[in-house]
Amino acid sequence: MNLDAKIEFPVIEFRSSDLERGTNGWHQLCKKVREACETFGCFEVVYDTISTEVREEMFRLMKELVEVPVERKQKNTSPLPYHGWNLTNHVHCLIFCPSGTMHTMGTQLEVLHKLIWLMLIDSYGLGDDSLKMNYTMSVRMMKYMSPPPGEYETGLFAHTDKPVSTIICEDQIPGLEIEVNDGQWMKLSNLSPSSFVFMVGDPLKAWSNGRLKSTNHKVMMSGDKDRFSIAAFIMPNEGTIIKTPKELIDEEHPQLFKEFDFMKFFFFAFSDPARRIDSGQLLYDFAALSPPVSNAHMDK
């Protein structure tokens, strides 16, 4: 069933004049971002600081890179989950080397992630250190093939994201769908050319004591065009502990998750291929406190 008409997906415009922390505009944005992440677990962010020229160049190069024969890509496969192949050639350098397009875009996507994190901590009135960690931002490029004529085909199976947060950038062809109510899917179409989709991942949900939602999403393909997208994931470094700030735990919001080592959760989620199709249950299997603990001062 499709309820697109009834539920309005949040579109939040980040105007540069509102991005100064502490201003009225900033506080309005913080509120909208928090509401969107609590209700939908994601939102469309209109952010023209990342220029359409950089985006277009990125996708142009990416399409060139995709043409490199599979055998060559496979020679450079990384053993880590969420990591594909690393390729050293001319196109690769245009995209990835320090002066390359991907580097520019990657840096800007990281700034956007951090901006949204800051809005979330400000919206909860938390200190600057409450969502701080060492991380690597990993960028994945994806090509989804168009399905046979008239078909509606899965491009990427339903899942919640395991990194802390994700920013998705698509190249005009829609396909991303989110689960808005049990079993009801909403297609995110008509994203503006300056838009990105920010997505809360399971660790961010755990950090927020379940206030932020990590939404179930998938990619569905129809029509006759291939779809290209880029996803920038925040991956905490080895040894990072995901822990709910005590301010987010009280009688009304008992602690739902014990603190956990991100890498252990990540490998738990990817060690078994059957677990890849996960609609958010794995976080509970791995880290749920049962029953929840309402005393914030109890050491768990």
Ligand X SMILES: O=C(O)CCC(=O)C(=O)O
CB-based contacts of 198, cutoff 8 Å, min separation 6: 37, 42, 43, 45, 112, 113, 116, 165, 166, 167
In the list 102, 117, 217, 268, the residue contacting ligand X (rule: CB under 6 A) is 217
Spatial distance between the Cα atoms of 220 and 149, rounded to a whole number of angstroms: 14
Contacting Fe ion (CB under 5 A), which of 44, 161, 171, 278?
A: 161
**What is the DSSP annotation of 2-22?**
--TTTSPPPEEE--GGG-STT
Amino acid (1-letter code) at residue 255? Q
Is 179 an interacting residue with respect to Fe ion (CB under 5 A)? no
User: Which positions from 109 through 148 interact with ligand X, judged by CB under 6 A?
Assistant: 140, 142
Question: How many other CB atoms sit within 10 Å of the CB of residue 128?
Answer: 9
Q: Within positions 158 to 177, which residues make up the interface with ligand X, using CB under 6 A? A: 161, 166, 168, 170, 176
Considering the complex, what minimum distance in angstroms separates the CB of residue 229 from ligand X? 4
What are 220's strand-pairing partners?
Answer: 154
Is residue 44 a contact residue for ligand X (CB under 6 A)? no
Q: Would you say 157 or 267 has its CB closer to Fe ion? A: 157
3-state secondary structure of 161: coil
Work out how close the CB of 187 gets to ligand X at its nearest, in angstroms, rounded to a whole number: 11
Minimum CB distance to Fe ion, residue 124 (Å) = 24
Question: Is 216 near ligand X (CB under 6 A)?
Answer: no
Residue of this chain nearest to Fe ion (CB atom): 161
Indicate which of ligand X, Fe ion, none lies near residue 176 (CB less than 5 to 8 Å, by partner kind). ligand X
Q: From ligand X, Fe ion, none, which one binds at residue 283 (CB under 5 to 8 Å depending on kind)?
A: none
CA distances from 175 to 41, 171, 270, 282 (A): 18, 11, 24, 25
Backbone angles phi, psi at 153, to 5 degrees: -120, 145
Query: What's the Rg (C-alpha) of the chain?
Result: 19
92 interacts with, out of Fe ion, ligand X, none, CB within 5 to 8 A per kind:
none
| Among the listed residues 115, 119, 219, 234, the single contact to ligand X using CB under 6 A | 219
**Contacts to ligand X by CB under 6 A:** 140, 142, 156, 161, 166, 168, 170, 176, 217, 219, 229, 231
